[in-house]
Chains A and B, each alone.
Chain A
Amino acid sequence: MITYIIKRLIQAVFILLLLTFIVYGVMRFVPGDPLLMYLGATDIQALSPEALDQARQELGLDQGILVQYFKWLGNVFQGDWGKSFHFKADVLLLISQRMPVTIYLGVLAFFFSSTIGISLGIIAAVRRGKWADTVATLAANTAITIPIFWLGIIMILIFGVSLGWLPIAGFTSPFDDFWLSTKKLIMPVICLMIGSMGSNARLTRTSMLEVIRQDYIRTAWSKGLKERVIILKHALKNSLIPVITVMGLQVRFIFGGAVLIEQVFAIPGMGRLLVDATFGKDYMVVQGCVLVIGIIVVLTNLIVDISYGWLDPRVRYD
């Protein structure tokens, strides 16, 4: 297993290098001079062409893209992630401020999408053809098809404006005010988890239906075991293998969704930082965000792969 993990981590390094290189290239080919974004209107009006050239040199923008990329990479390894053109602040500082918020949001969404989705899938499979199956399947299909941006706005109008039950926007730390923090996160988390929840429910249902037809489940029934024990102890574990695979992939969708949701609910997370940076051609920030998101997604997938061994002892990592 250790050899497998090391091998995967080495692969991950190459994936991240490729990812950052592609993003770096794409950002630099977007029209517009990053120096002008950095300096802003006031400076441009005042600075002489010589001063502009000097500023370009100081920021390393006079060098080739490849040179700039490897310079950036070298600096990243030394803990210098560059400076934001827009916010005039260290990228690492900006990310360290925003990332915890997004991870908190993402983990909550991941947790609830998994638990609720899997539960719905189990109910639908066990009560196949009954009203519970119909309701759960309908809920899952609806959840998959709802556009989260639209859902966010609708929830704001209903629960925020009309009913006044929930705060509309912003983020409060759970340690500052747990109740307010929870209220503020209800709508964003629902929006972020709903699609994944639907997928999990559908996949669990399909997988579970296959498993409960297996001989060993029939044997368990014939032994007179309780339904709860058969489903949760014997059937669920095996039916979760495809679900876990998809859940690993959903991490990237949750981060993708965070870009939208943080914008709608004005949450100061990394998704919003990424949007602002992209529009502002703040490529140092974009690079930093992509690198962090890449690391999270790669590591999550590694954890998912490792978890196969726990779910199915037949899986070997040699």
Chain B
Amino acid sequence: MKRFMTALVIAIMLISIILGSCGESATTTATTPPTTTTPPTTTTAATTTPPTAEPRYGGTLRIITPMDPTVLGYPPQSAGRATYFQYCVLERLAIYAPDVWESQDYQGILATSWEDTNDMKTWTFHLREGVKFHDGTPWNAEAAKWNADLFIAAGTSATFNDVESIDVLDEYTIQYNFNNPKGTFMVEIATGIYYISPTAYEANGGKDWAMQHPVGTGPFKFVEAVLGSHVKFERFDDYWAGKPYLEAVEYLIIPDATVSKAMMEAGEADVYVYSEFKETLEMDAMDGFYARYCKHHTPEGIWPSAKDETSVFYDKKVREAIEYAIDREAIVAAISLGSPEVEVMYQAPIPGDPAYREGWGRKYDVATARQLLADAGLEAGFETTIYVRSITGRWGDMAVMVQSMLAEVNITASIEFISPGQYMTFLLNGWPEGTLFISGIPNEPISTFVAIRDYRCSAPGIPKWNYSTVTTPEMCALHAALEASTTQETIRAAYIALSHQAMDDAVGIYMMDWPDTAVFADYVHSDWISYSTKVWNANLCWMEEH
């Protein structure tokens, strides 16, 4: 028995060591290295502004990020933050221009130019020549059509669901024909439509393989992904825009902000993206680091549910009263830890937007709030619930502050925290009538797209995936006009009218412009600037000796 027990202990130890080693080997690996021999071109990389100092080749950029990628190489199912892992490998026809917030314009990547005809029902793209996928497959109109067909078959793109036909006009020209005008087609092109190698996809069994094996045309090739640990990419020497400076890019999946900061301080990472705000401010103030704030990333707000007259918020006066009752300045000062990087919002359009109205907004005024409630017959107040996405962080703090401010005007609000699953359900089916929902809105630089998405008047019953549940007849008419607009002038006019109407109707309480953040070691030269959260792929990034 004694021998048996000794042997058992030794066996367990050995097995554990062997199993431990297996954990690391359970990775997904890249396909065969590219066989392309096309020399690097001298084309200026289209994505970004060049760095200011003299660039240097070499090094692995280690980027901390808090969450795993879910899908790496199957674009029809890419969503959310998971997509930024793809930027290194997969490319789009066009991306937002560096000055997109002002110009509302795009910049060609896999397409060099495009035009729409036939009232935005027909879109023609002229593709970049001389581009190859990492497996050597040539990029051309057939490859573009194959990718579009992949989206259509998956049925996950609202735009492609409406496609009438896709025509290959010549080797480098493709035409998309839609049944209805697609004024927001370019937003989808710039944000969601990535291109993968048809050859690699079909040779390796399709979707299940592609999910974790991206093969694109980007500046870096996929090497391996170990869920919960890291995702690694290496330089694609034949990249069409020139050889990238970095030898490799490695994303490290670190969920805890304190640990992430410690790793940066210990020199175990070079960049920390999607950094927690508190840690970002702390590191920004430290020697050896600098922070970047991506403005206009996530407007935070409070959304009253007011689908029908059973909701107390159906009355516009009540919605206005809520706005007046909330001291945004105080909330933002507290949540932003006094940082000027978080700006108070009183309206959805940001300064510079054509719909922005200087000085407009319902500013903190408890007396007006009480008067409006009295006018609505609710002088004695009422009870409601505030739903918040997370118990921790800014949303939880915001809920508590809003709760105390509403109490000042006799509104008794209880706070309920919702799970991620419940959050998705809320967005699809709405939240209970007569309640408030605190959440950020994923923003896009193209304001017309945001207006169409957020002020949509769905069919009677269920609002689908929008935060504003208020559907006044005026707003619905303006929304329909915006969707039907087919020239830049009419789109602009319709957008401004709809945006003003939405603000006048108090569809939601815009609270603050919450930035996206990243921290860099000071030896990292990066083009991660305001728009970059949607496009950054480390192509022009380089590191000094350190």
- Mark B residues whose CB is within 8 Å of A: 1-2, 4-5, 8, 12-13, 16-17, 19-26, 68, 70-71, 77-80, 155-158, 161, 192, 211-212, 226-230, 252-256, 258-259, 262-263, 265-266, 268, 418-425, 427-428, 464-465
Contacts and interface: CB of A to CB of B under 8 A. Distances in A.
Interface stretch (A12-20, A56-64, A208-216, A271-279): A271-279
Contacts of A221: none
A104 B421 contact: no
Given A32-B420, A32-B423, A273 B228 contact: yes
Decide if the interface of chain A is mainly helix, strand, loop or mixed.
Answer: helix
Contact of A176 (B21, B77, B212): B21
Contact of A104 (B19, B71, B418): B19
A103 B425 contact: no
A97 B268 CA distance: 24
Listed from nearest, the 4 A-B pairs whose CB atoms lie closest are A32-B421, A104-B20, A268-B228, A100-B19
Interface of A: 30-34, 36-37, 40-47, 51, 86-89, 93-94, 96-101, 103-108, 111, 153, 156-157, 160-161, 164, 167-176, 181, 263-269, 272-273, 276, 279-281, 303, 307, 309-310
B393 to A, nearest CB: 14
A100 B22 contact: yes
A268 B226 contact: yes
Contacts of B252: 169-170, 266
B16 A103 contact: yes
24 contacts: A30-B419, A31-B418, A31-B419, A31-B421, A32-B422, A34-B421, A44-B465, A86-B70, A97-B227, A98-B228, A99-B23, A104-B17, A107-B13, A156-B258, A168-B262, A170-B230, A172-B24, A176-B24, A268-B229, A272-B228, A276-B228, A281-B419, A281-B420, A303-B8
Contacts of A107: 12-13, 16
Contacts of A161: 262, 265-266
Contacts of A86: 70
Contacts of B2: 310
Given A45-B464, A99-B19, A170 B229 contact: yes
B424 A44 contact: yes
Contacts of B419: 30-32, 279, 281
A296 B18 CA distance: 17
B424 A32 contact: yes
Contact of A310 (B5, B22, B465): B5
Contact of A31 (B226, B258, B425): B425
Given A44-B428, A46-B161, 6 more contacts: A36-B425, A42-B77, A89-B211, A99-B19, A156-B259, A157-B262
B262 A156 contact: yes
